[in-house]
């Protein structure tokens, strides 16, 4: 396993790799993981026109700079300063590189003023396997209790299929309602809608039609605790630009001053749906 300094569309970046895959993280984009690559192909959707400076924002959401890749937000969205607009103080700020070793990289964001917390991330790769470990940390930086959930968001190219665990309660979060094909949902990027579920199995999958593998996120979430949207797994369909999101959420946790909580996820690539 190696960690090297590199550049991503002209921005300072770090690439962590083993014999199976590599990931590229860009501190300037709130520590987003912009590449999760196998055999030279990036699994994540990225907004190339924005990265190249050809457009100034996301056509769907106005001035929001949706770079693509993988990021973390605070949930619930209803408690954002403007629930209908993404916050640059959370989503488009420089993160500090706390440590960089061949075994992994640690990053930390600034305090989110309206949230009173700070996000952090540790990325590492499993030796000899197509797997990555992602540890998202939320820390209370104020003198009063704060309650939030970690909201992990990965963007992928379409068309493709997402797979949900067979257990749990499924919900339509943004109409129109979608019909499952067994435990799968089809994404083609022709409209906007959102589906979620509260599932004790704590995993979600996505496979683009152009891939020979499936991305799986396995996350540690206690569904006995309250969750934003009453969901631990969500999927979003976007159009203009066309992509989908696989999202997994931790429980709502109350942090005392100086207290932290960690949300652990394993990313893996397998030849087909499980």
| 3-class DSSP assignment, residue 145 | coil
For the chain, give percent helix, strand, coil, nearest 5: 5, 50, 40
143-199 pLDDT, tens digit each: 999 999 999 999 999 999 999 999 989 999 999 999 999 999 999 999 999 999 999
DSSP state of 28: G
The answer on pLDDT for 39 being more than 90 is no
Q: 235 with 215: CB under 8 angstroms? A: no
Per-residue pLDDT, 264: 96
186-241 pLDDT, tens digit each: 999 999 999 999 999 999 999 999 999 999 999 987 889 999 999 999 999 999 99
Rounded CA-CA distance 31/25 in Å is 6
Per-residue pLDDT, 127: 85
Distance of CA 225 to the CA centre of its chain: 21
The answer on pLDDT for 274 being more than 70 is no
Question: What CATH number does the domain containing 195 carry?
Answer: 2.70.98.10
| Mean per-residue pLDDT over the chain, rounded | 94
Q: Would you place residue 272 in the very low, low, confident or very high pLDDT band (cuts 50, 70, 90)?
A: low
Q: pTM, whole model, 2 decimals?
A: 0.96
8-27 pLDDT, tens digit each: 999 999 999 999 999 999 99
Q: 197 with 165: CB under 8 angstroms? A: yes
The number of folded domains in the chain is 1
Domain around 170: 2-270
The answer on pLDDT for 60 being more than 80 is no
């Amino acid at each position: 396993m190696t960690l090297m300094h590199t550049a991503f569309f002209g921005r300072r970046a770090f690439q962590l790799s083993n014999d199976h895959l590599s990931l590229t993280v860009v501190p300037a984009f709130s520590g987003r993981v912009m590449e999760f690559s196998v055999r030279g192909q990036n699994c994540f959707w990225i907004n190339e026109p924005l990265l190249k400076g050809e457009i100034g924002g996301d056509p769907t959401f106005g001035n929001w700079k949706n770079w693509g890749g993988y990021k973390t937000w605070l949930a619930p969205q209803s408690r954002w300063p403007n629930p209908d607009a993404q916050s640059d103080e959370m989503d488009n700020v420089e993160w500090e590189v706390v440590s960089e070793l061949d075994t992994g990289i640690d990053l930390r964001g600034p305090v989110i003023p309206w949230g009173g917390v700070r996000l952090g991330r540790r990325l590492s790769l499993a030796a000899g396997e197509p797997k990555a470990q992602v540890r998202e940390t939320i820390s209370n930086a104020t003198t009063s209790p704060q309650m939030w959930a970690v909201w992990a968001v990965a963007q992928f190219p379409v068309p493709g299929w997402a797979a949900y665990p067979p257990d749990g309660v499924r919900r339509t979060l943004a109409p129109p309602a979608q019909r499952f094909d067994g435990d799968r949902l089809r994404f083609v990027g022709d409209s906007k809608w959102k589906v979620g579920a509260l599932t004790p199995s704590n995993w979600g999958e996505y496979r683009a039609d152009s891939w020979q593998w499936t991305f799986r996120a396995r996350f540690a979430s206690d569904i006995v605790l309250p969750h934003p949207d009453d969901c631990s797994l969500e999927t979003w369909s976007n159009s203009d630009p066309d992509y989908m999101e696989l999202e997994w959420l931790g429980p709502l946790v109350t942090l005392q001053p100086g207290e932290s909580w960690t949300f652990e996820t394993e990313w893996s690539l397998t030849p087909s749906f499980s």
